[in-house]
Amino acid sequence: MRRESPVSSRLPPSLSTNRITQVLGRFRQDGVAVADLTESNPTHVRLPYPSSILEPLADTQALRYEPEPFGLASAREAIAHDCARRAASIDPRDVILTASTSESYSWLFKLLCAPGETVLAPAPSYPLFEHLSRLEGINLATYRLDYHGRWEMDVASMDTAPASTRALILVSPNNPTGSYITTRELESVLAVCRDRGWALIVDEVFSDYPLEIEHPLTDVASRADVLTFSLGGASKMLGLPQVKLGWIIAGGPDDQRREALHALEHIADTFLSVSTPVQVAAPSLLREGASVRAAIHERVLDNLDCARAVARRYPSCQVLRTEGGWCATVRVPATRPEDVLVLDLLTVEHVLVHPGYFFDFPHEAFIVVSLLVEPAVFADAFERCLRSLN
């Protein structure tokens, strides 16, 4: 549940996780209700889904299997067409279908790194990259995001990246900080990548959910002048994690992009992991999923407004600027280690939150909450959290 980077004032990772698991298990056994403010599965939070949204998965066209390494042309065209609503011009030939964003990372790590080489990822961030890089036999280094009224990239911290670094990962908006990359930051990052010969991987799975920003920078692969890969997927964009559809959009200089696509085709042809039914259904899913995306967007906006209203009543707690995504980060009084804080909230208030260390925040004390939770549950549980912490 947490990264293997314990600080002396905190419990060892396994002990912290085990205690939370034990308490949750005991509560379930005793029938004690817990408000889960870590819930990130959109199918668990009573969102309105069209009753017919999954019907295209039964299309009889899927009975015919015609494997295509990058996916069916109809699905790739639908994804490229969908990008146009954000004013991005994408060639369907630059779209590669995968079964998930995690698989997208796996394929790109295979493409860009030899065993023992390095990728550079942001911190704080969701603790996924450490596990994926380890499974691919490569190393992970980090650069910092610092909070100065908004979360900003510390480009200077990239200077310490080892010589074995082959790619830099951006997450925009970042999970959990909610920060989109700015034009100025992108220019700096592209300069670093040009100078170091790095490829750029941009995770944009939450890009359709701007919150405290009006016109975020998106679809970076279509704008970049270095070899770049933008990642998206149905899990976040359509609220459909169960259909297992992700995609990579390749961008950058023509010669580098074509060479990368040629190599990626060999990797994709080896796995052929995306099911035919979801590929056949993709055009319909992208259309029908727009209403789900709108419902999610409305939910997270409302819960963020609620969080800010609650925080005004508890001045020792601060909801940090949240430009996009599904999470809010709250700076809270550092009166106890985050392990103790989270366990206290769970045992006393029956509310589950993420501690900051789960995302590798540089210091205490932070909690991270999901804005996807049902509004009534969120309002009550968040109030109890801040009242207790205040």
Model confidence pLDDT, tens digit, residues 31-73: 999 999 999 999 999 999 999 999 999 999 999 999 999 999 9
Q: Are 281 and 288 in contact (CB under 8 A)?
A: no
For residues 180 and 73, give the distance between their C-alpha atoms in angstroms, rounded to a whole number.
Answer: 31
265/373 same-domain check: no
Q: In this structure, what CATH number is given to the domain that contains residue 328? A: 3.90.1150.10
> How many domains does the structure of the chain reveal?
2
Model confidence pLDDT, tens digit, residues 154-189: 999 999 999 999 999 999 999 999 999 999 999 999
Q: Is residue 8 part of a domain?
A: no
Burial 57-92 (b: 16+ CB within 10 A, else e): eeeeebeeeeebebbbeebbbbbbebbeeeebebeb
Indicate the residue among 244, 274, 289 that finishes a domain.
Answer: 289
Per-residue pLDDT at 4: 35
- Beta strands 118-123 and 165-171 are parallel
354/260 same-domain check: no
pLDDT < 70 regions, the chain = 1-16
> Could you tell me which residues come within 8 angstroms of residue 139 by beta carbon, excluding any fewer than 6 positions away?
116, 117, 118, 119, 133, 162, 164
Model confidence pLDDT, tens digit, residues 298-328: 999 999 999 999 999 999 999 999 999 999 9
Q: Is residue 362 part of a domain?
A: yes
Backbone angles phi, psi at 98, to 5 degrees: -135, 175
For residues 302 and 118, give the distance between their C-alpha atoms in angstroms, rounded to a whole number.
Answer: 40
